[in-house]
Structure 1
């Protein structure tokens, strides 16, 4: 079952979604600062996105719609392909460990 998110009436719809890759990094969260609120006064109004520029870093960037650049379809494909290759290497390494452990157990 897919999760459902409801946007209250009067709020703008977000341009980006969690899990989406952008030129700034991976969107990991978002919040809406309604006009006329303290948050909007302090940070600006509208959707503000939490972006992880590098999955191996603790740094998180906070950006509004107009500060985020979308990746082209080719760039998204390249990101996904790189992720697949990294996971495939991890699978191969684990399979090798399993062979070593299984062989050692059979020898013992």
Structure 2
């Protein structure tokens, strides 16, 4: 893959892909050159495409001078919260692996033939139950799939509460959970 090259007569962007800001992660860049309609109409310069929430499809566009980087403390807190989240996910997956029965290969009387026999009964492992975060993530995926399913789209269904309302409720719940986790992480740092 070739690196991205920027024409010499363009200004270089002040921020890069993947950089975390107060408005979200930078996932795209657009440049309005001075000799174009957009550059003349809206001003020359870089526009950044931000993803405020990686679990949503909504993106925001920001002018370069409106982008605000996270402070080192905010970035550390955010990264620690993500590390905690992925550590919990990893532990959950390990518990799922432990729940898979172990099998041994036993030779039979027939030459070249082998048979697998279980050496441990399969059991549910609740030593490390799924986290609330993993349930929220799963529910968001399911709700998105429901909202895009052809059978759902074909319905003339207009309830008082919609799938979108449920998605919003889950987003609020997730924000509250992340706020509590960040507060706990900060309190842990100061202990």
Q: What are the residue-to-residue correspondences of 1:50-89 with 2, within 5 Å?
A: 50-89=49-88
For these two proteins, the number of residue pairs brought into alignment is 107
Whole-Å separation in 2 of the counterparts to 1:80 and 1:13 = 27
SS in 2 for 1:18: coil
Q: Paired residue for 2:121?
A: 107
Name the one with the larger helix percent. 2
1:6 aligns with 2:5: yes
Rg comparison, structure with higher value: 2
Which residue in 2 is equivalent to 1:30?
A: 29
Does residue 92 (structure 1) correspond to residue 106 (structure 2)? The answer is: no
Q: CA deviation at 1:16?
A: 0.7
Taking structure 1 as the reference length, what is the TM-score of the superposition?
A: 0.86
Q: Please tell me the root mean square deviation across aligned C-alpha atoms, in Å.
A: 2.1
Deviation at 1:57, TM superposition (A): 1.3
Which blocks of at least 5 consecutive residues in structure 2 are unaligned?
Answer: 104-117, 123-191
For normalisation by structure 2, the TM-score amounts to: 0.51
State the distance in 1 between where 2:17 and 2:57 align. 17
Where 1:50 maps in the other structure, the secondary structure is strand
- Give the aligned partner of residue 17 of structure 2: 18
Distance 1:10-1:67 versus aligned 2 partners, 3 A rule:
same
CA deviation profile, 1:53-108 (whole Å, cap 9, x unmatched) = 11111110001111111111111111111111111111000011111123695327
Gaps of 5+ in 1: none
